A = this chain, B = another copy of it.
Amino acid sequence: MKKLKISIIGATGYTGKELVKILMNHPKVELVYLTSSTYTGKNIYEVFPEFLNKLDKKLTNLDSELISQNSDLVFTALPHTVSMDVVPELLKKGIKIIDLSADYRIKDPAVYKEWYEKGHNKISENLLSETVYGLPEIYLDKIKDALLVANPGCYPTSIILGIAPLLKFKLVDPQDIIIDSKSGATGAGRKLSLGLHFSECNENFKAYKVVKHNHIPEVEQELTSIYFGGDYNKQTQQGAGIKISFTPHLLPINKGIFSTCYLNLNNPKEEEEILKVYQKFYQNAPFMRIFEPPNLPEIKFVTGTNYCDIGFTIDERVNKIKVISVIDNLLKGAAGQAVQNMNIMSGFPETEGIN
């Protein structure tokens, strides 16, 4: 069988590197171009000695012409507001794209501009309506036919998957949702920053961007859509859009996101009942694991995997439900989910290469 030809734009960030690791062992694909603006011309094993004897591949610069001619599908692993300058050109050459930035996740360009402080140009804006939000547990069918998939953010993946069933079945108050998330240090990427130095993060814990983290609009868009079953923009314009209170924190570990979600139950429920709701909602989702109370997931259960592990407990004293949702931020929160999307878009088994 002919292998799918894959290129990765931005192969030397943490996410790009993880994509390379997965795809070099994926039985149905072949890596064509790996680009890196910082390390153009070097072999990938010179940048990451982990690849020694495993992958022999030169890093190239971003030549859209060459890449589109020789690839079937391209992963763009670029920073927010940079991806939008690259994606349209690649897309018009007729190849498929999975974009790992935030640039195509937000349907409403005005909302994007408000939170990311840069607007789309006309061509890019036109792509928004046909982009599919790449959360397979919610949008499996749309992803199958997508040309451009916006791969979800790490926090949003853990949050949306964590509470979607509760909202879908209207078991909770949609207007009082508190999300307390904790992320490992790779979540911040490989940019130089004193705050990310070992001596600054180690033996420490802190909150950051406590009110205005730019993953909020993405989460709210999707939760609104799940709850109201319809169009986010319309609901939001009518003032019905869901608003969450979200607080991200920095954990002194390499990988993993742990979201503790607090919601108010509309009616008292047994844990058994809620368990069934989750099990049914995710019955066909190979990467979802629902823990039976009182068991709860921990970050180490998912590190190095594409699983999203979910557990919950009902706090009867205050009629709240606490949901814990954990993922590996570089896998289910980025590269793993991107490959899951690629598998779905290409007709491969959903778990191929990420099992």
A289 touches B53 (CB 8 A): yes
B207 touches A296 (CB 8 A): yes
B residues within 8 A CB of A112? none
Interface centre among A205, A291, A296 (most CB of B within 10 A): A205
Give residues of chain A (46-73) contacting chain B, Cβ–Cβ below 8 Å: 49-50, 52-53
**Per-position binary interface string of chain A over residues 175-213, scored 1 when its CB falls under 8 Å from any chain B CB and 0 otherwise:** 010101010111000101110111111111111001100
B residues within 8 A CB of A194? 190, 192
The secondary structure that dominates the A interface is mixed
Q: With A197-B198, A245-B262 in contact, is A203–B313 under 8 Å at CB?
A: no
CA A162 – CA B251 in complex, angstroms? 21
A83 within 8 A of B: no
CA A317 – CA B50 in complex, angstroms? 31
A203 touches B303 (CB 8 A): yes
B residues within 8 A CB of A318? 176, 243-245
A260 touches B249 (CB 8 A): yes
A182 touches B205 (CB 8 A): yes
Query: Smallest distance from the beta carbon of A179 to chain B beta carbons, Å?
Result: 10
Give residues of chain A (320-339) contacting chain B, Cβ–Cβ below 8 Å: 320, 322, 324
A301 within 8 A of B: yes
Q: With A243-B317, A247-B322 in contact, is A197–B185 under 8 Å at CB?
A: yes
Q: Which single residue of chain B is at the shortest CB-CB distance from A307?
A: B53
A262 touches B262 (CB 8 A): yes
B residues within 8 A CB of A201? 198
CA A52 – CA B302 in complex, angstroms? 10
Q: With A53-B289, A198-B252, A315-B211 in contact, is A296–B262 under 8 Å at CB?
A: no
**Per-position binary interface string of chain A over residues 296-312, scored 1 when its CB falls under 8 Å from any chain B CB and 0 otherwise:** 11111101110101000
Query: Smallest distance from the beta carbon of A94 to chain B beta carbons, Å?
Result: 35
A295 within 8 A of B: yes
B245 touches A299 (CB 8 A): no
A256 touches B192 (CB 8 A): no
A14 within 8 A of B: yes
A254 within 8 A of B: yes
B residues within 8 A CB of A185? 197-199, 202
A202 touches B252 (CB 8 A): yes
B residues within 8 A CB of A300? 50, 203-204
B residues within 8 A CB of A256? 203-205
Pick 14 A–B contacts, CB within 8 A, sort by A.
A176-B318, A185-B202, A186-B199, A202-B202, A202-B253, A203-B256, A204-B300, A206-B297, A207-B324, A211-B315, A211-B316, A211-B317, A251-B251, A251-B252
Which residues does A use to contact B, with CB under 8 Å? 14, 25, 49-50, 52-53, 176, 178, 180, 182, 184-186, 190, 192-194, 196-207, 210-211, 243-245, 247, 249, 251-256, 258, 260, 262, 289, 291, 294-301, 303-305, 307, 309, 313-318, 320, 322, 324, 355
Given pairs A50-B301, A198-B198, A198-B252, 4 additional interface contacts (CB within 8 A)? A49-B295, A178-B262, A185-B198, A245-B315
